Chain A
Amino acid sequence: MNAPSAPASQPANTEKSRLALKDTGPSGHKAGATRLSLGPLLYYWSREDTLAFYEAAATWPVDSIYLGETVCSRRRLLRLPDWLELAEKLTAAGKEVVLSTQTLIESESDLKALRKQVADGRFLVEANEWGAVRLLAEQGAPFVAGPTLNAYNPDTLALLGELGAKRWVPSVEMPREMLAAMAVPEGMETELFAYGRLPLAFSARCFTARHYNLQKDDCQFRCLDHPDGLTMRTRESEDFLTINGIQTQSAKVMSLAHRLDELRAAGVDILRLSPQSTRMGRVVEVFRALLNGDIAAAAAPEKLDKLMPGQPCDGYWLGEAGMAYRPT
């Protein structure tokens, strides 16, 4: 298991962390090899496409794969037994599998599905709201604290550790300085959203159904027609956001590949890559080549930009507007 980085993860004042970021390269960092994960699929694809995607993913150089529906309870082309079957296959292929829970729990049937997912017990679970945390802690099961738990400070992170979190994923808006100043409990891993359209907001309303003048309860599963979401442009044709059912994402694609040294210095153990419908295997390959030192960080943008479904951004990491981009 990776030990969290000593210089970056101890409680530090901001000034000190800034210095650490500036001066400490990967060589000065004692953490083990940085790993790659494939985040949960945020879109709704046909059963065939979803299964084909994961069949391919089994051969990609990722260490962990997150499975399950995190966005909308109406998306049921794959049900828990299907995800579990997939989980077994991917485990057999050498991947660590994590089951991700739904982010917005509204109904008793949502809770029922959540309880089943938690009760299975064969796989690590990523909790995406505090009801899931309660259930997992009751069971004494170790878990991954997902990005929507809003752990913005060491006290909350320590609490998650007490409750059984062995890994945490910071909010996608967390800047590097805040991350570097977080005291990560001993033995807890840090996984950061490092590539993909940013999941920014959740609503009870389905914006895809709204676009088609349909009610959510009769949405006709229009998400299936938009494998990378629906782009929302400003009235001067700037790509701004992406509609994905009840979720709103960025139109730009967060990419931190060119900032690998900073990620390592801030104590990141795992880079999360968020699935997109095409060229995902090639995205994974670029990140793997980067981690292996086969390509330089500075060369990553040129390779990745061609594979992205939108323009790149990295503003959140820099403490700026999320949509900003500063390719060093």
Chain B
Amino acid sequence: MPALLELICPAGSLPALKAAVDNGADGVYLGLKDNTNARNFSGLNFDAKSLAEGIRYAHGKKVKVLMALNTYPQPATLARWHQAVDTAATSGIDAIILADPGLMAYARKNHPNLRLHLSVQGSATSYEAVNFYRERFGIQRAVLPRVLSLPQVENVVKHTDVEIELFGFGGLCVMVEGRCLLSSYACGDSPNTFGACSPGHAVRWQQTPKGMETRLNGVLIDRYADNEKAGYPTLCKGRFDVQGETYYALEEPTSLNSMEMLPEMARLGIAAIKIEGRQRSPAYVAQVTQVWRAAIDAVKKDQAAFKPNPAWMAQLNKVSEGSMHTLGAYYRPWK
């Protein structure tokens, strides 16, 4: 039977992995402790020992482990990405999530039985692009960027054999993933090559007479009055001045929450729902996994009657960035 609405949860650490597994994830995704994945933050991710333990724990409870190798390898350090693919293949990882076609070719050639997923960082938004990776490298699943409306997603699903995975909840990239260089423009490190957006080393918080200021490599991303809660200076979620008006020019500090669209996603045959947040705590992962497990079970039981439980939504809002959520591009007027 084809996969339907598998719940794929973030594992930024071994405790987070266990929290996801214990609370009902069908799969977890993780990365190694370097720039081969797009959550290259200090204190996160897995080394050989925690990887082995994580895989043992997850497989013991019949939960899949996916490895994100979704940054773009570069000439001087290409061997690091190749080694990471080899590590995944020999350690029992269920699938690797890749963005770079060159790396897919390497994986395909050297580990033909290793299951390949196309990362959201691969920026594939059409079935022509998805089918390219299918034909060339035999990818089995693609994670779509958070830019398509649901009817547009449906059109992709209709024209490909590749399983489609969608983001369900968590931090919201307002830009097409893999096509955003705002971070490297401001501070030199981009998600594509360095594996992080608005990285911690470039961030400064400073209390000033005008309020709390957050900066990224010196660029003022936002300034908060005393009664406002200061947020992390992700640069697309700051307040800027355009023609004399100061506002969230690109996007508010908000999270994606597509739960109310679950019945529609089930109808389209979406293979998996991804929860963002490898940088979040195990407690967060536990809570979000639990709520989404309940929601997906409810949808699978009775699509027509499904309604997001207000208690679930309240729980999710509590942990959302800025305590707000949006349907993002799935809902056309957001665009």
Contacts and interface: CB of A to CB of B under 8 A. Distances in A.
Tell whether A and B belong to one assembly. yes
Interface of A: 11, 13-14, 103-108, 110-111, 114, 129-135, 148, 150, 152-159, 171-173, 177-178, 181-183, 198, 200-207, 210-211, 215-217, 230-238, 240-241, 243, 248, 250, 315-316, 319-323
Contact of A150 (B72, B147, B155, B188): B72
Nearest to B75: A181
13 contacts: A129-B123, A131-B129, A154-B78, A156-B101, A158-B102, A159-B102, A178-B74, A201-B180, A205-B335, A215-B335, A217-B335, A230-B242, A322-B184
Interface string B158-187: 000000000000000011101111101111
Contacts of A183: 75
Contact of B182 (A131, A206, A237, A241): A241
B76 interface: yes
B37 interface: no
A152 B101 CA distance: 10
A234 B78 CA distance: 37
Nearest to B178: A150
Interface stretch (B21-29, B299-307, B326-334): B326-334
B133 interface: yes
Contacts of B131: 134
A133 B335 contact: no
B233 to A, nearest CB: 11
Contacts of A129: 123-126, 129
Contact of B100 (A150, A182, A316): A150
B73 to A, nearest CB: 5
Given A104-B179, A171-B192, A205-B174, A134 B132 contact: yes
> For the side of the interface on B, what is the size category?
35 or more
Main secondary structure of the interface of A (DSSP, over half): mixed
B184 A321 contact: yes
A130 B129 contact: yes
Given A202-B175, A231-B242, A315-B188, 15 more contacts: A129-B126, A134-B131, A152-B72, A153-B100, A155-B101, A156-B100, A156-B101, A177-B76, A204-B335, A205-B334, A206-B335, A211-B249, A234-B240, A235-B241, A241-B182
B222 interface: yes
Contacts of A13: 76
Given A322-B181, A322-B184, A203 B76 contact: no
A262 B179 CA distance: 26
Contacts of A159: 101-102, 105
Interface of B: 72-76, 78, 99-103, 105-106, 122-129, 131-133, 135, 146-149, 152, 155, 174-176, 178-182, 184-188, 190, 192-193, 217, 219-223, 236, 239-243, 245-246, 249-251, 329, 332-335
Contact of A236 (B122, B146, B220): B220
Given A152-B193, A205-B334, A216-B335, A198 B125 contact: no
Given A130-B101, A204-B176, A322-B184, A105 B250 contact: no
Contacts of B133: 130
B204 to A, nearest CB: 14
Q: Among the interface residues A205, A211, A231, which one has the most CB atoms of the partner chain B within 10 A?
A: A205
A150 B192 contact: yes
A156 to B, nearest CB: 4
A156 B182 CA distance: 23
B74 A320 contact: no
Nearest to A132: B128
A207 to B, nearest CB: 6
B181 A155 contact: no
Contacts of A182: 75
A232 B124 CA distance: 28
* Cβ-closest 7 pairs across A and B: A155-B102, A131-B128, A204-B147, A156-B102, A322-B185, A152-B72, A131-B129
A323 B239 contact: no
Contacts of A130: 101, 122, 124, 128-129, 132-133
B246 A235 contact: yes
A217 B188 CA distance: 35
A225 B179 CA distance: 26
A238 B219 contact: yes
Given A105-B129, A152-B74, A200-B180, A250 B222 contact: no
B11 to A, nearest CB: 26
Contacts of B240: 232-235, 240-241
